[in-house]
């Protein structure tokens, strides 16, 4: 008998994964949720885990960007936190948001150092989209990545908590005063 784990036959995940009701019933146990997550695709996993992590997801269908497999806006307490994104050609699920840093803030360099430090501690990367130098604000994209194969409820909850904590700590740095 041939037991090569790299053989794409017997050990391959089935491509026609089981579909189930997208909105979980409140009485589902953690074991049942874990079982459904194992059987699901990424989109179903996120929709199933959202109530367990205290967030709400709103699906966005980016018709003009065929490279995107999954895109959701993330809300916590009716406030938009950011987005979840998975591209077809990437093994990573990205959790991100966009912030704006005003250039006229006092101690801009110190604030930027603090923003960089907070993001680094929480494993969040800073991306700077191109902008005109005369703009009064500096747009910054914040993103953290989770390996798609290693994603589960605990990892997802931890990444979301880390991301939300970082955003809460960044708010005072973005305001004047």
- Are residues 21 and 33 in contact, defined by beta-carbon separation less than 8 angstroms? no
Q: Tokens for 54?
A: 């205290």
Helix, coil or strand: residue 40? coil
Confidence of residue 90 (pLDDT cuts 50, 70, 90): confident
The predicted model gives 4-16 an average pLDDT of 43
Residue 81 resides in a domain: yes
Residue 15 falls inside a structural domain: no
Residue 1: inside a domain: no
pLDDT tens profile 34-57: 666 666 678 877 887 788 788 898
How many domains are contained in the chain?
1
Two tokens at 161?
Answer: 């908590």
Q: Which residue range forms the structural domain that includes residue 168?
A: 30-174
CATH of the domain at 51: 3.30.1460.10
Burial class (CB in 10 A: 0-12, 13-18, 19+), 130: exposed
Closest alpha carbon to 71 in 55, 95, 38:
95
Whether 79 maps to a domain, the answer reads yes
Backbone angles phi, psi at 175, to 5 degrees: -95, 150
Please write the tens of the pLDDT for every residue from 12-27: 444 434 443 344 455 6
Q: How many CB atoms lie within 10 A of CB 72?
A: 21
Q: What is the mean pLDDT of residues 95-99?
A: 93
């Amino acid at each position: 008998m041939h037991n090569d784990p790299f053989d794409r036959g017997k050990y391959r995940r089935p491509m026609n994964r089981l579909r189930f009701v997208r909105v979980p019933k409140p009485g589902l146990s953690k074991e049942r949720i874990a079982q459904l997550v194992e059987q699901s695709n990424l989109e179903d996993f996120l929709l199933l885990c959202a109530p367990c992590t205290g967030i709400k997801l709103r699906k966005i269908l980016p018709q003009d960007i065929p490279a995107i497999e999954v895109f959701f806006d993330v809300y916590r307490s009716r406030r938009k936190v950011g987005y979840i994104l998975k591209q077809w050609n990437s093994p990573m699920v990205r959790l991100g948001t966009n912030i704006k840093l005003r250039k006229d803030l006092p101690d801009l360099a110190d604030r930027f150092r603090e923003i960089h430090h907070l993001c680094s501690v929480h494993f969040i990367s800073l991306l700077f989209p191109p902008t005109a130098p005369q703009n009064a604000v500096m747009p910054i994209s914040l993103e953290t990545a989770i390996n798609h194969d290693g994603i589960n409820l605990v990892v997802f909850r931890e990444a979301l908590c880390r991301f939300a904590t970082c955003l809460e700590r960044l708010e005072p740095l973005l305001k004047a005063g």
